[in-house]
Chain A
């Protein structure tokens, strides 16, 4: 058994939240709490990866204690451990991502691959995979639609805009997020399902320490690049001023294709943004 294991992170959500058609008020469902298809696919991927690498899979959920029974039923499908991090999404210390990162990190579970579902039915921000990756210092491969769980370097396919696809290779510690179609979670064998129905004790409950957890952000705003200042046109007549303002007759740099390392690509993008005036050059004030 190798040391680092593979974690599937799942979120306990209302799978069928209702809306009262007469009042348009949301109605939480009484019986439909569980885990989304994407989260179930994440667990299946974690199980397959663990089998291919001869390591253990663990399923982790940050949520209230009531999630324990559902998590036990989910965990009957085969992960070696199931951990419920007791956490209140609304008022708990830190966000789910931060709390999960704390448990997944070297002081606790010490995993080297984290698999999440890419969409949550819980109307969250969708930021958990990125936040976990950031806190653990892992690479990210998010929104995967295909994944080869074989041993060695992971190869996966990501969905891009405009029906494009990107093939990514994942080496070393990483956070993956998968769509629900990537894998169907295997069914729990009858014996395991029966045990889970009898008791949820197989699920370890971890309580986060409110004193050591990072503060929740008090205000979250989207980042927008600063506007580029365009000098007023000096041309004499209105037509010329319009032409100058719209840049209709100006020369445009044609699109170019560049091949290179990710670092090089990032540097080229930054340089172009500086050229256009969206980013300040070093030492310059925006």
Chain B
């Protein structure tokens, strides 16, 4: 006789998606178990560095007063890089250093624990060190989860799978189609300790203001990108690398990362620091096109488990999409429980909610962007072309007279083996993708 424990809802995974879902359910008065396999929320999580917090407005008023922030991003850069050049677009505004802010850097163990604690304050039951090993299915519908604890069946009216990028629950429920490595990247990151004053000097920021740099052209033969951002007294530098290309051989992740750290545009920012933590995580890169079915009978999927990570070059976001989808899942689950219909039809409100919010709107609008960013043009030609054009524009060639800008552009496009129609076509494609 197996003893079972029953809740209105079980949320698997206490990351941002799961915590937001549990928060909304508990706030609506539902009994909810938030099950986490790590010893504390966030212990299994790492990311590329920035939490965009405005989505928290609906959950926690004045969240910025209590959120565990490392630095508020007031300087945002995008860097195009070749082996020896770098062209940076650098935007800064102190407005982002004041409420309601824009983005913040944070350690995920701190942030995720904080958000899960908010759900607990609403009445959710946080159960750590408990791995969910599968779904409880009766008559084709999900009625709970099986955990790895003795007598570990946990029954619930609704299960929300916020179990991360590998989501074995969504796969078990058959919500994913064929899983292909092409849709995934792996992120590797070093957190490097440096004294606060040194970071302030190197990045030209003060107080709790910080910098976030996204980099393209820094991953050698492997399609991908890089990032570099400031915490209070550490700097994080990392890479996002295409899985199939990495598997094809050649370079290992830490070798590519060491090369980025040695680049003349990056070395002065990170040198002398000691590696405090190395981390790695897989990222659902392909966005909208790889998303699973979001709803099953008695089951909702949120966050990375539903591939809700936006990797669109100039925008790299995930935590906000996780919170947005998690909160929507929580509300949809509550509504379905109230109406007494927790079948896929009863839970269909989840998808509607997501479609009317930024979560699916952004993903659908930018569905081409991940392919564009990981494509040959953006990866192999754009960084070199942009850097060479910049060099030709800014280099003083006396005694030769200055070439005109159009001539520079034509010459460099030709030098990079591109044809004007190709460039025009790709520009239009990019404008459409990002329009």
Contact (Cβ within 8 A) B193 A190: no
How far does the alpha carbon of A21 sit from the alpha carbon of B33 in the complex, in Å?
38
Contact (Cβ within 8 A) A22 B233: yes
Measured CB to CB, the closest approach of chain B to A213, in angstroms, equals 34
How far does the alpha carbon of A21 sit from the alpha carbon of B110 in the complex, in Å?
19
Task: Chain B residues near A187: list those with CB within 8 A.
Answer: 148-150
Contact (Cβ within 8 A) A23 B40: no
How far does the alpha carbon of A186 sit from the alpha carbon of B153 in the complex, in Å?
17
Contact (Cβ within 8 A) B193 A21: yes
A21-B193, A22-B274, A190-B154 given as contacts; is B149 within 8 A of A30 (CB)? no
Interface string of A54-84 (1 = CB under 8 A from B): 0000000000000000000100000000000
| Stretch among A191-199, A242-250, A274-282 lining the B interface | A191-199
Q: Determine whether B130 belongs to the interface, using a CB cutoff of 8 Å to chain A.
A: yes
Contact (Cβ within 8 A) B193 A20: yes
Contact (Cβ within 8 A) A31 B150: no
A190-B153, A193-B127 given as contacts; is B40 within 8 A of A31 (CB)? yes
How far does the alpha carbon of A31 sit from the alpha carbon of B113 in the complex, in Å?
8
Which residues of B139-164 are within 8 A (CB) of A? 147-154
The winner among A21, A30, A190 for most chain B CB atoms within 10 A is A190
Q: Which residue of chain A is the closest to B38 with respect to CB atoms?
A: A31
The interface on chain A, measured as residues whose beta carbon lies within 8 A of the other chain's beta carbons, has a size of: 20
Contact (Cβ within 8 A) B233 A20: yes
Q: Determine whether A188 belongs to the interface, using a CB cutoff of 8 Å to chain B.
A: yes
Contact (Cβ within 8 A) A189 B152: yes
Task: Chain B residues near A34: list those with CB within 8 A.
Answer: 39
- Counting residue pairs across A and B whose Cβ atoms lie within 8 Å, the total is 68
Q: Determine whether B194 belongs to the interface, using a CB cutoff of 8 Å to chain A.
A: yes
How far does the alpha carbon of A30 sit from the alpha carbon of B152 in the complex, in Å?
29
Contact (Cβ within 8 A) B113 A194: no
Task: Chain B residues near A32: list those with CB within 8 A.
Answer: 39-40
Task: Chain B residues near A30: list those with CB within 8 A.
Answer: 109-110, 113
Measured CB to CB, the closest approach of chain A to B38, in angstroms, equals 9
Task: Chain A residues near B274: list those with CB within 8 A.
Answer: 21-22
Measured CB to CB, the closest approach of chain A to B117, in angstroms, equals 11
Q: Determine whether B268 belongs to the interface, using a CB cutoff of 8 Å to chain A.
A: no
Contact (Cβ within 8 A) A22 B109: no
The interface on chain B, measured as residues whose beta carbon lies within 8 A of the other chain's beta carbons, has a size of: 32
How far does the alpha carbon of A190 sit from the alpha carbon of B2 in the complex, in Å?
11
Contact (Cβ within 8 A) A191 B127: no
Task: Chain A residues near B110: list those with CB within 8 A.
Answer: 30-31
How far does the alpha carbon of A193 sit from the alpha carbon of B151 in the complex, in Å?
11
Task: Chain A residues near B130: list those with CB within 8 A.
Answer: 190, 193
How far does the alpha carbon of A127 sit from the alpha carbon of B195 in the complex, in Å?
38
Task: Chain A residues near B333: list those with CB within 8 A.
Answer: none
Contact (Cβ within 8 A) A191 B3: yes
Interface string of B178-200 (1 = CB under 8 A from A): 00000000000000011100000
Contact of A31 (CB < 8 Å), options: B3, B43, B153 = B43
Contact of B125 (CB < 8 Å), options: A22, A73, A186, A194 = A194
Contact (Cβ within 8 A) A197 B43: no
Task: Chain B residues near A73: list those with CB within 8 A.
Answer: 128-129
How far does the alpha carbon of A71 sit from the alpha carbon of B166 in the complex, in Å?
32
Task: Chain B residues near A188: list those with CB within 8 A.
Answer: 149-150
Q: Determine whether B264 belongs to the interface, using a CB cutoff of 8 Å to chain A.
A: no
How far does the alpha carbon of A188 sit from the alpha carbon of B195 in the complex, in Å?
43
Measured CB to CB, the closest approach of chain B to A201, in angstroms, equals 14
30 A-B contacts, Cβ less than 8 Å apart?
A20-B276, A21-B193, A21-B273, A21-B274, A21-B276, A22-B194, A22-B195, A22-B274, A30-B110, A30-B113, A31-B43, A31-B109, A31-B110, A31-B113, A32-B39, A73-B129, A187-B149, A187-B150, A188-B149, A188-B150, A189-B149, A189-B151, A190-B3, A190-B5, A190-B147, A193-B127, A193-B130, A193-B149, A194-B125, A194-B154
Known: A22-B274, A73-B128, A190-B151. 5 other contacts (CB 8 A): A20-B233, A22-B195, A73-B129, A187-B150, A193-B130
B-contacting residues of A (Cβ < 8 Å)?
18, 20-23, 30-32, 34, 73, 186-191, 193-194, 197-198
